[in-house]
Amino acid sequence: MSMGRILVVDDDINICELLRLYIEKEGYEVTIANDGGQAVTKFKTESFNLVLLDIMLPVLDGWQVCREIRKTSQVPIIMLSARGEVFDKVLGLELGADDYVVKPFETKEILARIKAVLRRVNESSSASSQNVVKEVTYDKLLINLTNYELRVNGEQIDTPPKEMELIYHLASNPNRVFTRDQLLDEVWGFDYYGDSRTVDVHVKRLREKLEGVSDQWELKTVWGVGYKFDVKE
């Protein structure tokens, strides 16, 4: 029985075949695309549980492919890139990727991340099937993770998935201080090897949406430690 179907997108045939070998050993079915155009076509005509997506691709690059997929689907995307700058990682996450792996990588790490992402998706689907609504409300603020909906003063604010997950996680645990590493582990679901600026950038973007909305709560920096959703007693 297949564990799921994975689309591997990379223009390096050797990397594709290496990934296919290791991923299929774990019980998954693998389909390969060697350029962004192929990837979009295959995604639209076939069903996949996860996409491993390189950034530097012919025809359409990984950013464009990610945008196309996110227009119609929330299927998990793990981006692969030789570029390890924080900006590239944050851009991938902002576009809706679930994870980001820098080349060269260990196949064991890829497999661990695939399993971690799919486990989170399955847990979320299980909660949805049981009609569990993930929602928290405060003065002038509604955060609904079930529908990925953020409302400020009753107005829906366009918010990328990871920002939604981050603010929901903080607001669901009011006044609890989280370190950056804890947030990386609990929101992104995998250790980003100390790349804490990813959290900082997401918090900065959330603050732009939430600053000054209410005097009853605040997305607060705890200097030298991390962040908390501060609720006035």
Per-residue pLDDT at 186 exceeds 50: yes
Q: What is the pLDDT of residues 36-79, one digit of tens each?
A: 999 999 999 999 999 999 998 999 999 899 989 988 888 889 98
Per-residue pLDDT at 189 exceeds 80: no
d(CA 43, CA 46): 5
Q: Is the pTM of this model over 0.75?
A: no
Q: Are residues 155 and 171 in the same domain?
A: yes
Which of 89, 105, 129 is the last residue before a domain boundary? 129
d(CA 52, CA 168): 26
Q: Are residues 141 and 108 in the same domain?
A: no
DSSP state of 170: H
Query: Cβ-count burial of 158 within 10 angstroms (0-12 exposed, 13-18 middle, 19+ buried)?
Result: exposed
Q: Are residues 13 and 89 in the same domain?
A: yes
CATH number of the domain encompassing residue 43? 3.40.50.2300
State both tokens at 105.
Answer: 């990588």
φ, ψ dihedrals at 108, nearest 5°: -65, -35
d(CA 66, CA 78): 10
- Look up the domain containing 224 and give its range: 135-231
Q: Looking at residue 194, what is its pLDDT?
A: 45
Q: Are residues 124 and 146 in the same domain?
A: no
Closest CA to 162 of 63, 76, 53, 71: 76
Q: Are residues 181 and 102 in the same domain?
A: no
Closest CA to 161 of 189, 191, 130: 189
Q: Are residues 44 and 149 in the same domain?
A: no
d(CA 214, CA 217): 6
CATH number of the domain encompassing residue 156? 1.10.10.10
Q: What is the pLDDT of residues 87-142, one digit of tens each?
A: 676 777 777 787 888 888 888 888 888 888 887 777 666 555 556 678 999 999 99
| Structural domains of the chain, count | 2
d(CA 69, CA 79): 13
In Å, what is the CA distance from 161 to each residue of 56, 58, 151, 184?
A: 23, 27, 14, 14
Q: What is the mean pLDDT of residues 183-209?
A: 76
Q: What is the mean pLDDT of residues 23-37?
A: 94
